[in-house]
């Protein structure tokens, strides 16, 4: 998704370059303004992606648990099961 945002920013850079070029800005101003537009669009796209990604993380799990942590099945002798970590 980041690649798409970057490519979209480059597309907007080209469009801005054409737009500023048609308005008869000097070459350095055209490139500078187009670059600033590119940075702004790319930054806003990444920021939007980060906000949307964060909202998807906050959604409730679909297994019916409202606490967000998976429930552990009870053992037969009343002790909590141990969890092993394997690398």
Q: Is-contact 46 2, C-beta < 8 A?
A: yes
- Rounded CA Rg of the chain: 25
Local structure of 85: helix, strand or coil: coil
Residue 28 belongs to domain spanning: 2-56
For tokens 């979209």, the residue is: 8
pLDDT digits (tens, 9 = 90+) for 37-73: 999 999 999 999 999 887 777 765 666 555 555 566 6
**Is 82 within a domain?**
no
**Is 12 within a domain?**
yes
Count how many domains the chain has: 1
For tokens 């002798």, the residue is: 77
Alpha carbons 85 and 87: distance in angstroms, whole number: 7
**Is 85 within a domain?**
no
Local structure of 38: helix, strand or coil: helix
**Is 62 within a domain?**
no
Share of residues in the chain with pLDDT > 70 (%)? 66
**How crowded is residue 13: how many other Cβ atoms within 10 Å of its Cβ?**
19
**Is 67 within a domain?**
no
pTM over the 0.75 mark: no
């Amino acid at each position: 998704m980041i690649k798409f945002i970057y490519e979209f920013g480059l597309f907007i850079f080209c469009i801005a370059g054409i737009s500023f070029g048609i308005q008869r800005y000097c070459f350095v101003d055209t490139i500078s303004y187009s670059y600033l537009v590119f940075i702004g669009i790319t930054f806003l796209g990444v920021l939007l992606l980060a906000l949307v990604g964060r909202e998807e993380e906050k959604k409730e799990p679909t297994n019916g648990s409202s606490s967000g942590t998976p429930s552990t099945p009870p053992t037969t002798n009343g002790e909590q099961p141990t969890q092993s970590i394997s690398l």
